[in-house]
């Protein structure tokens, strides 16, 4: 569902209440993650936390759905599931989001360009329903994603030795902790 809200210079740039994002002054509601998506987020956070403690203790990961303001585009606030900042840089180098079936054109077309222009090195779009991961490595391949559709180890290219398991992304984890 899309609500058109135009913000003028100096107006509040906070995203309205709820799970939504603001792109160039237009509010887009984000679909809530289902159990499969929640399981994938848990896996990502656990795997990255373990890696970071052992290898990169100074790197930072933002809280899920934390607001990320794009400096080059006024009135734009995104809420990725994962945003990793390396070596004290101001803007994340690795961003992970989940595909939104209600706004596929935003997930697959608009956001990759926004993140690339903002200086993100690597952007992942995970679709738990289709069990597909699109990896945009902007420095290497621009806006052409690597499409991962089957079991394999996936390298997070901002690091030399950080790999994730495709199978673990899509393992159902219905238990609550």
Q: In the structure, what pLDDT confidence band is assigned to residue 89 with cuts at 50, 70 and 90?
A: confident
Domain covering 33-170 assigned CATH 3.40.50.280 in the classification: no
Rounded to an integer, the average pLDDT of 41-60 is: 87
Rounded to an integer, the average pLDDT of 63-92 is: 86
Looking at residue 12, what is its pLDDT? 44
7-29 pLDDT, tens digit each = 443 444 455 556 788 888 888 88
Domain boundaries, the chain: 33-170
Q: What is the pTM of this model?
A: 0.85
Top-ranked range on mean pLDDT: pick from 68-72, 88-92, 122-126: 122-126
Nearest to 94 by CA among 52, 13, 157, 154: 157
Nearest to 148 by CA among 169, 134, 130: 134
CB atoms within 10 A of CB 156: 20
**pLDDT cut 90: percent of the chain above it:** 44
Q: In terms of pLDDT, which residue wins out, 3 or 94?
A: 94
């Amino acid at each position: 569902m899309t609500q058109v809200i135009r913000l003028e210079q100096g107006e509040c740039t906070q995203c309205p209440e709820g799970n939504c994002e603001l792109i160039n002054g237009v509010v887009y509601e984000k679909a809530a993650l289902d159990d499969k998506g929640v399981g994938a987020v848990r896996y990502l956070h656990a795997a990255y936390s373990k890696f970071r403690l052992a290898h990169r203790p100074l790197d930072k990961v933002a809280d899920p759905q934390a607001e990320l303001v794009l400096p080059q585009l006024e009135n734009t606030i995104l809420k990725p599931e994962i945003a990793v900042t390396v070596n004290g840089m101001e803007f994340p180098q690795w961003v992970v989001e989940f595909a939104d079936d209600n706004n596929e054109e935003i997930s697959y077309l608009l956001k990759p360009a926004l993140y690339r222009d903002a200086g993100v090195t690597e952007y992942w779009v995970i679709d738990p329903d289709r069990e597909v991961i699109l990896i945009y490595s902007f420095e290497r391949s621009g806006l052409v994603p690597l499409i991962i559709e089957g079991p394999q180890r996936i390298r997070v290219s901002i690091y030399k030795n950080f790999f994730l398991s495709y199978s673990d992304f899509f393992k159902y984890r219905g238990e609550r902790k």
